[in-house]
Structure 1
Amino acid sequence: MALINTTIKPFKATAYKEGKFVDVTDADVKGKWAVFFFYPADFTFVCPTELEDLADIYPTLQKLNVEVYSVSTDTHFSHKAWHDTSPAIGKINYYMLGDQSGQITNNFDVMRPGVGLADRATFLVDPEGVIQFMEITSEGVGRNATELLRKVKAAQYVAANPGEVCPAKWEEGEATLAPSLDLVGKI
Structure 2
Amino acid sequence: MALINTQVKPFNASAFKAGEFVEVSEKDIAGKWSIFFFYPADFTFVCPTELGDVADHYAELQSRGVEVYSVSTDTHFTHKAWHDSSDTIGKIQYTMIGDPTGELCRNFDVMREGQGLADRGTFIVDPDGIIQAMEITAEGIGRDAEDLMRKVKAAQYVAAHPGEVCPAAWKEGEATLAPSLDLVGKI
What TM-score, normalized to structure 2? 1.00
Deviation at 1:131, TM superposition (A): 0.2
Give identity over the alignment, percent.
Answer: 72
- Determine the C-alpha separation between the residues in 1 that align with 2:178 and 2:23: 42
**What residue number does 2:155 align with?**
155
**Matched AA of 1:57:** H
How big is each residue's C-alpha offset from its partner over 1:8-65, in whole Å with a ceiling of 9 and x where there is no partner? 0000001100100000001111110000000000000000000000000000000000
- Determine the C-alpha separation between the residues in 2 that align with 1:131 and 1:179: 22
Moved over 4 A (4+): none
- Determine the C-alpha separation between the residues in 1 that align with 2:111 and 2:159: 29
**Equivalences for residues 1-187 of structure 1 within 5 A:** 1-187=1-187
Secondary structure at the counterpart of residue 164 of structure 1: coil
How big is each residue's C-alpha offset from its partner over 1:71-112, in whole Å with a ceiling of 9 and x where there is no partner? 000000000000000010001000000000111000000000
Q: Which consecutive residues of structure 1, in runs of 5 or more, have no partner in the other structure?
A: none
**Matched AA of 1:148:** L
Q: Which consecutive residues of structure 2, in runs of 5 or more, have no partner in the other structure?
A: none
Equivalenced residues, count:
187
Secondary structure at the counterpart of residue 23 of structure 1: strand
**Matched AA of 2:35:** V
Deviation at 1:113, TM superposition (A): 1.6
- Determine the C-alpha separation between the residues in 1 that align with 2:40 and 2:7: 23
**Matched AA of 2:36:** F
Secondary structure at the counterpart of residue 78 of structure 1: helix
**Matched AA of 1:10:** P
- Determine the C-alpha separation between the residues in 1 that align with 2:8 and 2:154: 21
Deviation at 1:128, TM superposition (A): 0.2
